[in-house]
Structure 1
């Protein structure tokens, strides 16, 4: 897959099959559209193209600085590459770009720039200035500019109306199983292992402190999770706490992963963590000894979960 930054940097002599959207999460609804796009393009010997935007339009038009995204750009790119997409175009979204009328968007972007011969979109898709463009207009423009339009109806997406908003809500509420089912994969966090206060090691549970540089990445509900990662090609399981460590200091949110049967040095390394199961809420204990007792129970529960879910 080739990643292109800005529409103006894209050119293709071949006709392209295109879809458009932010595709945050690349969830099962998105995957339905993308599989259709990629398969159709291969059958017709065309190139499959996803035009997406960053920053997210809501961050630009609504100044929604509180919006948290399910994927970083790198995570989204990796998911799309695994699906077999040919081109990912990441276009900088701006107020100026948002003022393009539906007609201008179709003519200047889809036809003249992307060489679109077929457009595949999800149900209820809107585009152009004030979101004025819809499926009916697209069908009219398709006759004018000679391209095909295919809409993926809602009922084709697992009979469930999946949305990025629903997944964000599930993660904030600790409903990890629901979120992962809607995503079609385990929710992930990618970051760098940084130095912490090393308090975990002193109580027998050394942890890797994870720093995530993208401030827009959604951090799930505070609590303890069963996790999976890969280190030097070996799968490692463990448990992770997201929260404020109220028993120890309670000042700043941290993400701390304890990997079972691992004592290596991870400082400075990039790490990808899959969240498998939400174990419990974060708690404040009366003493460090009480915390240690609970951590041992957490480990037992995590191992029991993994034993019963060997495929994870």
Structure 2
């Protein structure tokens, strides 16, 4: 997959393009992606057009944390078979671009779009004045075809990044995973920790997520770690390890069952499957060790090991 990030000068030939924020790559997003991929059989270049940073981060003082960071999104899209991912710089100039100019300058001139795939509520351009009706009215003018999709639902809820974000902040991992169509995950490089887990007889791997990564509540989760494409069952704690001295920033500490390979410096992905309990400050290391053993037993029952 070709990755074009932070650039405004590029030219793609004969593209089928889907547009949106794509934070989360949830089931609704996957419908759009699959339609674009299907156009490859007709000789088109499959393209996702999104923005390098969440648009609200430019127009608001409050940074919106992301379900999947740019690196995580890129890694996931690599597996889809998409030809090109464009992360266009979202600036105040981009924000003020008239919708007609967005179509002419970007969709037509830069992307040579022959097929445009969007949700039926897609909005674009200055003050979000552009919509699906405007795109359809331009089909004959510019020679492209617009394909739209209704919102995907789950348990009578319309699936959206904001809904998933709310459920994630509540710790409703199973609902999040259902709407994502895959387990929520954190991708990163394994770092050296204080090796406290090793002294307790439970060696762990440590990740520090980026500051703009949206995490579920601090606590213990049943998890699965993906290493070189293979999944390993385990348990993960999100937090600051209050029993052994608060460690900032918040870290991801994972125990992998029956695993003894050295992973320091390696990139892995930790998938979250089920919330077990909140992070607790115990009175002693012995209390912590006892509760960790109970947590690991719960995980073994979950995985049937």
Give, in whole Å, the separation in 2 of the partners of 1:43 and 1:131: 33
Using the alignment, how far apart are the partners of 1:159 and 1:142 within structure 2? 33
Q: Distance in 1 between matches of 2:56 and 2:86?
A: 19
1:129 corresponds in structure 2 to 126
1:239-250 correspondence runs (5 A): 239-250=235-246
- What is the Cα deviation at residue 151 of structure 1? 1.3
Instruction: Give 2:55's match in structure 1, choosing from 31, 54, 57.
Output: 57
1:255 is paired with a residue whose SS is strand
What is the CA–CA distance in structure 1 between the aligned matches of 2:195 and 2:241, rounded to whole Å? 13
* Residues 26-79 of structure 1: CA deviation (Å, up to 9, x unaligned): 11010011111211x1342211111111111110112332x1111122221222
Kindly report which structure 2 residues correspond to 1:124-203, keeping only aligned pairs within 5 A, or say none.
124-154=121-151, 160-203=157-200
Q: Which residue of 2 aligns with 1:29?
A: 28
Pick the aligned partner of 1:220 from 216, 219, 226: 216
| Contact preservation (8 Å) 1:18, 1:49 | yes
Distance in 2 between residues matched to 1:294 and 1:283, nearest whole Å: 10
Gaps of 5+ in 1: none
Moved more, 76-85 or 293-302: 76-85
- The TM-score, its normalising length taken from structure 2, stands at 0.92
The separation in 2 between residues aligned to 1:11 and 1:156, in whole angstroms, is: 35
Aligned residues: 304
Provide the secondary structure at the position in 1 that maps to 2:244: coil
Alpha-carbon separation, structure 2, partners of 1:173 and 1:205: 28
1:172 CA displacement: 1.3
Q: Secondary structure at 2:87's aligned position in 1?
A: strand
The residue matched to 1:194 in structure 2 has which SS? coil
**What does 1:107-122 correspond to in 2, within 5 Å?**
107-122=104-119
Alpha-carbon distance change, 249 to 7 in structure 1, aligned in 2, over 3 angstroms: closer
Q: Tell me the secondary structure at the aligned position of residue 49 of structure 1.
A: strand
TM-superposed deviation, 1:6? 4.6
Distance of 2:148 and 2:155 partners within structure 1 = 15
Contact 2:5/2:88 (CA < 8 Å) preserved in 1?
yes
Q: CA deviation digits over 1:131-168, x for unaligned, max 9?
A: 11111211222232222112112268897511111111
Secondary structure of the corresponding residue to residue 238 of structure 2: strand
State the Cα deviation string for residues 257-284 of structure 1 (Å, max 9, x = none).
1121223322222222111221222122
Q: Which moved more, 1:22-31 or 1:235-244?
A: 235-244
Q: CA RMSD in A?
A: 2.1
**1-structure distance, mates of 2:81, 2:158:** 24
Counterpart of 1:92 (choices 89, 97, 115) is: 89
- Once the two structures are superposed, residues 103-147 of structure 1 have per-residue CA deviations (whole angstroms, 9 ceiling, x without a partner) of 100111111111111211012110001111111211222232222
Q: Please give the alpha-carbon distance, in whole angstroms, between the structure 1 residues aligned to 2:84 and 2:35.
A: 15
Q: 1:221 to 1:158 in 2, by over 3 A?
A: closer
Residues in 2 aligned to 1:47 and 1:113: alpha-carbon distance in whole angstroms: 13
Q: TM-score, normalised by structure 1?
A: 0.90
State how far apart, in whole Å, the 2-side matches of 1:157 and 1:80 are: 23
